[in-house]
Structure 1
Amino acid sequence: MAFEVRGNGGIRAAWNGDAVGQAARRGAARGLALSAEHVRGIAVDLAPQDTGALRNSATASHDADDLRAAVSFDTPYAVRQHEELDYHHRTGGAKYLERALDTERDTVARLIQAQIRKALGT
């Protein structure tokens, strides 16, 4: 909302709700993209490492229109490595993606909030 003080002492208010909503949405989309990259980095550090193929297959993606983000690992064994709790690893371990999201939940929220605030100029 914008205010204008007139010479006669009156105040004129203009509602910019559509522009504000669009800016907030752009900020949220940017925050989601940054958050997905952040979670990807944490998940890579938590993932098992043998040859490095699993860690190197990690990808962060986002859809600004739907305000969705995803982190994925693209190897034939990524799901099995993630879910199998009985595997023993020298580095990393099971539930690497799940643990990354759980531990970084507050950081993800702060990243998105910061980008919305930045887009709104606050």
Structure 2
Amino acid sequence: MSRARVRWNGQAVNRAARAGELRGLRIGAEHLLQVSRDRVPIEEATLERSGVAVVDEADVSAVVAFDTPYAIRQHEELEYRHDAGRTAKYLEGPLDEEGAVILDLIAAQVRRALRG
């Protein structure tokens, strides 16, 4: 009969998983920001340039936002006409469409961190 010893270092595993989770969250937020920037209504590109992706490490959450006085109105007003490829719901649409991709990006970083 063979014997095997397993040594479990749970704290190291948890630290690695957390680091991978945060890295994946940052990559996922940046991905969403880029896809949204490709759709944001553009006149002078001020709205597009105002986009940011921020990760709160303590809360393990991310925010993607556009920060101009008219960002919300441009996002919500479905009757506005935009250039080809540009649209209202420029953040909501990509989040719905890219949600699975973002989750895959996070999962890949967690797996990578746990292998290392």
Match 2:99 to one of 98, 102, 105: 105
* Structure 2 residues not aligned, in runs of 5+: none
Match for residue 3 of structure 1? none
Aligned residue pairs total 114
2:6 and 2:82 mapped to 1: Cα distance?
63
The whole-number CA distance in structure 2 between the counterparts of 1:104 and 1:12 is: 43
Q: Taking CA–CA contacts closer than 8 Å with sequence separation of 6 or more, which of the two structures ends up with the larger relative contact order?
A: 2
Based on CA coordinates, which of the two structures has the bigger radius of gyration? 1
Matched residue of 1:60: which SS? strand
Moved over 4 A (4+): none
Percent of matched pairs sharing the same residue: 47
User: CA–CA distance in 1 between the matches of 2:56 and 2:23?
Assistant: 10
Residue of structure 1 equivalent to 2:44: 51
- Determine which of 70, 74, 86 is the counterpart of 2:79: 86
Task: Summarize the alignment of residues 13-28 of structure 1 with structure 2, pairs less than 5 Å apart.
Answer: 13-28=6-21
**Partner in structure 1 of residue 27 of structure 2:** 34
Q: Which of 86-95 and 37-46 deviates more?
A: 86-95
Structure number with the higher strand fraction is 1
Cα deviation 1:21-40 (Å, max 9, x = unaligned): 11111100000000110000
Deviates more, 1:77-86 or 1:9-18: 9-18
Instruction: Give runs of aligned pairs for residues 55-74 of structure 1, distance below 5 A.
Output: 55-74=48-67
Which residue identity does 1:70 align to in structure 2?
V
Unaligned runs of 5+ in 1: 1-8
Matching residue of 1:4? none
Q: Which amino acid aligns with 2:115?
A: G
Give the deviation of 1:14 after TM superposition: 1.6
